[in-house]
């Protein structure tokens, strides 16, 4: 983890050969609720290679992962309300 701001954002980093991959997660309160953003940034000499090899997989898999997180958060919130 390279950055963490409580209830606002966090960034975690993965290392690949000659490439770093940062996953940036932010949460912003809006009038309609909480907006959550996930961003992937690759830097380094082999960025061109890994963005082609892994970028498409991340692009496909990230929305599914986010949807699963939303469902889990909603279930947790519902269970917490029922507990009290």
The Cα–Cα gap between 65 and 42 comes to: 19
The Cα–Cα gap between 71 and 25 comes to: 18
Residues in contact with 48: Cβ distance below 8 Å, sequence separation at least 6, in sequence order: none
The whole-chain average pLDDT of the chain stands at 88
The candidate with the shortest Cα–Cα distance to 27, out of 39, 15, 17, 37, is 37
**Which tens digits make up the pLDDT trace of 47-82?**
999 999 988 888 888 888 888 888 887 888 777 666
Global confidence as pTM: 0.74
Averaged pLDDT for residues 28-40: 90
Judged by DSSP in three states, 44 sits in coil
CA 8 to chain centre: 12
């Amino acid at each position: 983890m390279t950055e963490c701001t409580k209830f606002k954002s966090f960034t975690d980093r993965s290392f690949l050969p000659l490439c770093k991959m940062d996953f940036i997660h932010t949460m912003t309160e809006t009038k309609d609720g909480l907006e959550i953003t996930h961003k992937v940034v690759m830097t380094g000499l082999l960025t061109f290679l890994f963005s082609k090899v892994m970028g498409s997989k991340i692009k496909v898999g990230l929305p599914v992962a986010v949807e699963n997180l939303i469902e889990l958060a909603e279930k947790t919130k519902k269970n917490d309300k029922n507990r009290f």
